[in-house]
Every structure is written in C-alpha cells, then in structure tokens.
A and B are shown apart, each in its own frame.
Chain A
Amino acid sequence: MTLRIPRRGLAQAFALIVILMIDRAVSPQFFNLHLQDGRLFGSVIDVLNRGTPVALLSLGMVLVIATGGIDLSVGAVMAIAGATAASLADTHSLPVVIGSALAVGLACGLWNGILVAVLRIQPIVATLILMVAGRGIAQLITEGRIVTFTSPDLVWMGNGAVLGLPTPIVIAIGMLLLTGAVVRGTALGLLIEATGGNARASELSGVGTRAMILSVYVWCGICAALAGVIAAADIMGADANNAGLWLELDAILAVVIGGTSLFGGRFSLVLAVAGAMIIQAMNTGILLSGYPPELNLLVKAVVVLAVLLAQSPRLGDLSRFTARWRRSKP
C-alpha cells in the first residue's frame, strides 16, 4: 500500500509553510516561545491569536459561500456584538454579556437569512444593507465613543489563557470542532453543498434548501458576534468605528484561499481556517519585517495572487501542456 497524499489542501499547506519560512527569514526569533504570566508568548502565538477573528468569521462565511451566497455584514455584526458586550460588561455577569452578544449576532444572521432565503434578495445586496446600517447601529449603542470596561471576566476572553494557550485560540479551536461536528458529523454539510451545487435539483429531491440557507446565515451571524466579543475583549473596549472594519473581505479571502468556490458547492472548514492563518502569518510577517508601511498592501496582494495562482486548475493544465510540449521537441 502506498501512502497517498491528499490532493486537496496541498496548495494551502505549501503556502502556509512557505510563508512561515519567509517569516522565519525576516525575523529569526519567529519560532521562539516562552511562558509570560502563564501565557505562551511568541510570534507564532501572535499569528494564531490575531488570526482568530478572521478564522471565526471564515467558519460562518465558508458555509454561507457553500450555499452560493455571501455575507458582507460580518464586520458590522462584529462591531454591534462588541458594542453590546462592552456596554453590559461592567454591570452584568459573563454569561449574560456573552449571551446578549450572541443573541444580537443571531438576530443579525436571521435578518440576513430571511432577506436571502425567504424574500429571495441577492445575497450581496441583502447583506450589504446590514454592512452599512450595522456600523450605524453599533455607533448608536456606543454613542460614537469608545466604550471601555474593566470586567476581568470579559477581559479574560481576549487576554486570558487556558493551559498556556491564549483564550481566543482555544475558543476558535472549539468553534472549529463544534462546526465540524455539526456539519460533517451529520448529513448537514452534504445538504449545504447540495444546496450550493444546484438549489433547484436539491429542492426537488427533498432538501429543505430554504432552511439550509437560513441556518447558514444565522450561524455566520453567531460566529461574527463571537469574533466581535473577542475583538472588544482584546482592547478592553468597543470601537464601533473600527472593530471588524473590512474584515468581511479578509474572511471571504480566507474562504477562497481555502479552495471553496464562490459559486457554492464543496467546502472545507479546516482549509478556510488555514486560509485565515495564511493571511495572518503574512500580516504578522509584514509587521516583523520592518518594511515601510506603504508596502503592506502591495506585499499582501502579491502573496494572495501567488496562493490563488497555485490553486488555479488552468495553471496546472498549462504546466502539463508546456511539459508535454517540451518533451515533444526533438
């Protein structure tokens, strides 16, 4: 029996390793780790920790995209949930705070889901509404200022540690396992993929496509809310203007880097999270490198282009074609 390397995920694993190697080259102490106040400390931990908001967003986003949809409102939902959590933090217990923030996320997801699944509005337009309005709602909650809090419980969500691992990383791993168990432990994942592959055919063969679509937007809202709580806990305050700003684009990018097609269909949770880590490994590398900040976006664009090109099926065909052409030459 020969060991078969799974074809899927190879490009992402390769990209992640290459980027980590580049990070190591620009910053020799990249893989150094030590304990600081009972919490692991090092650049690799930074990558995981800073990558958690986008990783959480991508967990919801990948399911939405698998149904052929898209959710542009996740950044704004982060801001609303963060604002909710921060305003309640110093007067309520942690379960109430987190419960309220997640309920807000659920409501936002339900709103998007109803617009898309029931009213049949195109997802990009439907979620654009909340993307624009959501930040306004967050600003109304915070009254336009940065709401700070000192509640040690909520601060722990962003800055604490479980067995040395920063809490956000533990939460993200937990959410990955939970989402994986729900969609892959049951037939749900398959039904979501069927909905995205061909909604009409699935509907005719008995898949409740409307319920599928509604539930992925709800899940996406909940994931976004959790990301928002973590982002607020991290800076001990809710910044309605900036929390989650443009992160919807990073989340979509993470899903795409993870090999899920924007047309819907087959998806991979693990690879979407890997996509988020690739983006963050790159961001952290840029910060460590000491290049002038004017280059940040350029470097990011070039790396993303390279990762996506590496996955392009046409490019694979092209390389086989040129190889054949070279062989056929005398």
Chain B
Amino acid sequence: MTLKALFAASATAALLLATSASAAELTVGFSQIGSESGWRAAETSVSKSEAAKRKINLKIADAQQKQENQIKAIRSFIAQNVDAIFLAPVVASGWDAVLKEAKEAKIPVVLLDRDIDPSGKDLYLTAVTSDSVHEGEVAGEWLAKTVGGKACNVVELQGTVGASVATNRKKGFDAVIAKNANLKVVRSQTGDFTRAKGKEVMESFIKAENGGKSICAVYAHNDDMMVGAIQAMKEAGLKPGKDILTVSIDAVPDIFKAISAGEANATVELTPNMAGPAFDAIVAFKEKGTVPPKWIQTESKLYTAADDPQKVYDSKKGLGY
C-alpha cells in the first residue's frame, strides 16, 4: 500500500511540477478519486486521451480514495489558477467550503461521474454523470424488443444489496418489465457484483428452474457477474446467448469477448468518457460564455453482436479495465 501511495504521490507531484510546460490554450485540473476499480482506471486514461485530442493541458491528482486529498488537490489547482477544475467526488458531502474558494477565484468546477449534496448546487458549473435507472431501462427495452411477444422468464443477478447503482439498475429494468406482460422476473438474488458469486448464484438458479429449461433470459447488474453466469450455464450444458439470452451493464472488455464468441447477447455501456463532454462544456463556456445545463447525462449505449464486438474489445482492453 505504501509503495503504491508513494508512487502515486510522486506521479502527482510530477504532474503538478509540469505546470505551464506547454503553451496549451486551456489548463484543467482533475481531482480523480483513485484506482478503486477497473472502470476508474479506464476513466483516467480516457480523460487523458480526450484532453490530448483537444490539446488541453490536463493535470490529474490521484486522491487515494480520500476526501482530504481531493480538497488539497483542488486548493493547489486554485493556487495555480487553472482554467477549470474537474472533480470526481469520493463522497457527496463536505465540499461547500472548498468549492466556494474555487467560485471566488472564478474557476468553474465540473463534477464527473458522481453528484454532490444539493447544498452545493450553485457552486459547480455542471455535473457529467450517467443515469443508472436509464441503464436498467435500456437493458429491459433490448430484452422486450428481442423476445417480441413471447412469454419470457427472466432471472436477475443483482449488485450488492443497498448499493445505489444496484437499486437504480433494478428500478429501471423493473419499470420496463412492468409494461410488458409477457416478461416476468422469476428469480432475483444478489451476486455482489463479482464473477465468483455470479457463477454460484446462476448455478442455483439453473437447478431451481428445471435445469435452466424454464429460464429464457438473464439480466445482470454488471458484466462481471454475467461472465460468471455464462460459465455456470456452459457447465450445465446450456448454450448462453442461444438457449438463454443475456443482457448486462457496464461494457467491460471481457463481455465483448463473450459477445463475439456468441455466448452473450447485449451489454449497456457505462461510458468511461465523462471528461469528453465536460471538456466540450468548458470550451464552450470559456469561448462563447455558453452556460451548460446543470446535468449532462452521458449516453447509455447498447452493444450487441451487430456492433463488431471484437473491435470494441481491442479498443477497450488497453484502457486499464
């Protein structure tokens, strides 16, 4: 842990020292949470490439999952008088003081991926986040469209009980199911967002549902659980993607491998590109004074076998997922 911290700290210092090295038009400071998940790593690398595309000078400060580090990073960005600050807040509360400082320094702040408490509403310019209820809806709509009018028993692998992402992805999916009388969720259990639990839970679903013969589709709140579930189906002699339809969320590289092998059907992307729309909003704000809407919703894109999964896999695998 200490090694990692040291490394990250020196990397941050190096990034901060490299200030005004290039004569880029805009300098943006990004306080990133840390490397909590593969998705987070992908978000960081996409932010870098999106910045390079626009010739924006991006400084990333890794906060090691600590709010105090983020506050420190924001203060140092203010001291350096950057043109804008991006913040992926590790928690929702406790930002008012430091964001007020940024506001007084007339530096616009954009929230990435996560929102903060309503009390800070007028302290930031805009928030770029995905809508996880909508992700569930996109998954549900794909399923409804694919099965048509046929009766379909769905089993659901939920995320960690109590996690807001899991609750929202369930809510969005359930809303679509409720509109289609032929769709029915027959079993729903938590797989804790992990491959191992996804596999174990799917094994029990298969046994409980007549060897899997009465299951028509699986919906998983993330791709990792689906990768586990696909293994469980194969070991039970079922053909995932054919005997049982699959739809999951996140669009991590490994699910594209499964889609191109015909073992998975669809995934809804939680895009790691939160910085792209944020850069566009900042550029428009700085150049033309256009005030963006308070919430910029990222696209929840659906991927199926028709979207050249092998190519998507190749483009995603280097991002650090």
Contacts and interface: CB of A to CB of B under 8 A. Distances in A.
A177 interface: no
Given A290-B187, A293-B188, A293-B190, A239 B196 contact: yes
B32 to A, nearest CB: 14
Given A36-B236, A144-B38, A293-B161, A46 B254 contact: no
Interface stretch (A37-45, A85-93, A202-210, A218-226): A37-45
Nearest to A145: B38
Contacts of B41: 144-145
Nearest to B189: A293
B38 A287 contact: no
B231 A290 contact: no
Contacts of A132: 1
Nearest to B40: A144
B1 A287 contact: no
A234 B196 contact: yes
Contacts of B320: 144-145
Given A27-B208, A50-B200, A242 B158 contact: no
B238 to A, nearest CB: 10
Contacts of B207: 27, 29, 42-43, 46, 288
Contacts of A241: 37
B237 A37 contact: yes
B228 A235 contact: yes
B168 interface: no
Contact of A36 (B3, B190, B237): B237
B321 A293 contact: no
Nearest to A285: B204
- B: contact size bracket: 35 or more
Given A36-B237, A235-B228, A284 B199 contact: no
B59 interface: no
Contacts of B187: 290
A296 interface: yes
A136 B190 contact: no
Contacts, number: 86
The majority secondary structure among interface residues of chain B is helix
Contacts of A41: 235-236
B133 to A, nearest CB: 19
A127 B45 CA distance: 36
Nearest to B201: A287
B304 interface: no
A287 B196 CA distance: 14
A242 B204 CA distance: 20
B1 A133 contact: yes
Given A36-B236, A136-B4, A293-B158, A288 B195 contact: no
B135 interface: no
B98 to A, nearest CB: 28
Interface of B: 1, 3-4, 35, 37-38, 41, 158, 161, 187-190, 192, 194-196, 199-201, 203-205, 207-208, 224, 227-228, 231, 235-237, 254, 320-321
24 contacts: A36-B237, A39-B235, A41-B235, A42-B207, A43-B204, A46-B200, A136-B4, A140-B3, A140-B4, A144-B320, A145-B321, A146-B38, A235-B195, A235-B227, A239-B194, A239-B195, A239-B224, A242-B196, A284-B204, A287-B200, A287-B204, A293-B158, A293-B190, A294-B161
Interface of A: 27, 29, 36-37, 39, 41-43, 46, 50, 132-133, 136, 140, 144-146, 148, 159, 231, 234-237, 239, 241-243, 284, 287-288, 290, 292-294, 296
